[in-house]
Structure 1
């Protein structure tokens, strides 16, 4: 669907793909709830729809709620500005300080969910909640701020995003799932939609296939198909995914690199976490877990064990999380040894880090020493994660595989650039 807006001496064109048209124009339901997969084109469609309403119907005021103000600025530059740029600057103005767009006599306020105090006190005719899986994690935003602002003008409300589970971090039913279920109940004025990434006709199916392969199977239904999943009933690391090979069968000349990955703890008492070191061989087309040490030791013994395992395998890099107990060990090793320590910055939670590496394991790219006496305990801990008693071995594994995945990504991209071969869209903005 293509709409043409006639401004004095100017014309702009707005395109909707068929499923965007279905959301915005085929129903008069007041509350529309959209659960969608990544790259469906929801945010771009919302931007088009807002400009459409402001210019063609003089609809005002409009409220757009998003995750952060930095995202709002980015969305305006990426989606709104290209449409407004050809228009006489006297007809529109975006106040970046107040995050407010004025177009002729209409106004759209942009507000961030992380500053809910800036949301209260106004009434709107159209309310848009983008990234609902994130911003509705706390139900108070809807109950105390958004819902009351829809009363004055009986506002239309569009709520959409990629789901983030049936329950929030508190274990309560996620409000996005609750509202989506309400839209599916047949209640008047409520309507829900579900779209997958494949429902965007502007993206090649092969690109989405590649994206799906990079996502944990436990999250694929959520991130690609826009489904609400129950993470408590979904095993992240499945026992049958692991592959096995005898360490004695590996030829040293075939090992590309050796890397150790540490998850550290300094206490020795029974109730405290274990320290873990996993030693990995990077092979041509797989990763091999050659050795695993696990124990509860005080700091001096931990340092001695660290040096002992380094001298046993001589890894090219030793990974340690640059946080909490790892900081002291890093400082000691950097000042007193020549061990090649690699500090790892962590920017996500344990479960997210685990989800990010499961495609490697599912694809049969991770092997374990078949004769190792730690093999069964290791697999048991992985299978029970994140509900099990311990997760130190899982932490060491995810730290290595996430690091290996990134460096392998860089090697592949460098090879594509060097040979001037086709570079997939998902690689184009990645820095080498």
Structure 2
């Protein structure tokens, strides 16, 4: 993109520079001034190999810069290991790639978490004098007042929300769209759009976000989701089977659940009995039971194989390639939007809510066996994750 901009007529009219022909790669190229190389670009991933190349030159004055664009992927925002890896690279790799102590480093990124690379720098973990520029999607009068006068005059604040805020760029990001995004997922909006990430506390899933039913609407899809424990010791998680139904109102209903610590033979018996109990249906109020989905890991793998051998129940394994926090954050907006509905009088509902509210990002909670199949049901029925393509 940068090379094409330099080649454009508009750029050449202002700064007539030619692209050198010795390096035609989009990742590495140079410009010519009066027939001589006058600088260039070398683009590589943050952890990529940069053999014999440093940003800038060993000469006084401005000789170039080291530009880092999005050092942390959005999907890695909730992974402490991924955040730590990106932050280590800032210290171990990036700092060593300056040709001169005065070569500036420019980091361009959206905020993703408190401990993302920007937060890491703000905490003083990367030496140097840093200037932070934050552009939130929703501005207020205090933010605009702090801008240089030349920028203040360009702000369009004609449309405001109930809090007096306005879009930083109404043409690209209409105020109405931004407000709807904020309501859909406040954590993501606060972090990525407002550049003010919140700490992930122990109240990620709030009980008040769930809705309740006495009689569900017509159910147009029913599936069983299961999470099986590796062991049956007292301190281990439980095995859980949940029956979920997608209503005609496009909300997801938890219709029934069983939970216990069962050895392998009993686990299979419970799974088959739960299926058979819910297999009958009235087509006027419900859809046929479509499938049983089990985490394809440890005891779950054995259960899948045992049930498949019998051939009476359509059972599939659920791939879980990401950590639990990432999966929770991926479905949180659906819960907050009150699209998850629980039975009002079921005896296990209070325990289900208690486990959801106790969930912590650092895995200090006691159990999360009821949360896993809920995540799977939301992902499958509402989010339609592309990671599951081919198995549903």
Change (3 A) 1:275 1:101: farther
Q: 1:264 deviation in Å?
A: 1.2
Question: In structure 2, what is the equivalent of residue 192 of structure 1?
Answer: 132
Question: In structure 1, what is the equivalent of residue 261 of structure 2?
Answer: 296
8 Å CA contact 1:93–1:103 kept in 2: the answer is no
Question: In structure 1, what is the equivalent of residue 389 of structure 2?
Answer: none
TM-score relative to the length of structure 1: 0.64
- Structure number, greater radius of gyration: 2
* 2:377 is the counterpart of 1:400: yes
Question: In structure 1, what is the equivalent of residue 337 of structure 2?
Answer: 363
Q: Decide which of 317, 329, 333 is 1:343's aligned counterpart.
A: 317
Q: 1:202 deviation in Å?
A: 5.3
| Larger relative helix fraction | 1
Alpha-carbon distance in structure 2 between the residues aligned to 1:282 and 1:157: 50
Change (3 A) 1:179 1:266: closer
Question: In structure 1, what is the equivalent of residue 191 of structure 2?
Answer: 222
Q: 1:289 deviation in Å?
A: 0.9
Q: 1:108 deviation in Å?
A: 1.5
3-state SS of 1:193 partner: coil
Per-residue CA deviation, residues 168-218 of structure 1 (Å, 9 max, x unaligned), is: xxxxxx5521423669xxx99531112234535552325545554553x33
* 2:165 is the counterpart of 1:165: no
Change (3 A) 1:129 1:90: closer
The size of the alignment, in residue pairs, is 318
Question: In structure 2, what is the equivalent of residue 383 of structure 1?
Answer: 357
Change (3 A) 1:349 1:6: closer
Change (3 A) 1:178 1:403: same
Q: Decide which of 211, 222, 228 is 1:264's aligned counterpart.
A: 228
* 2:246 is the counterpart of 1:282: yes
8 Å CA contact 1:119–1:146 kept in 2: the answer is no
Q: Decide which of 9, 30, 42 is 1:11's aligned counterpart.
A: 9
8 Å CA contact 2:83–2:117 kept in 1: the answer is yes
Q: Decide which of 135, 141, 158 is 2:89's aligned counterpart.
A: 141
Per-residue CA deviation, residues 94-145 of structure 1 (Å, 9 max, x unaligned), is: 437xx42334433322222344x64786343211112134586334322222
Q: Decide which of 83, 99, 102 is 2:30's aligned counterpart.
A: 102
* 2:56 is the counterpart of 1:128: no
Question: In structure 1, what is the equivalent of residue 121 of structure 2?
Answer: 179
Q: 1:92 deviation in Å?
A: 7.6
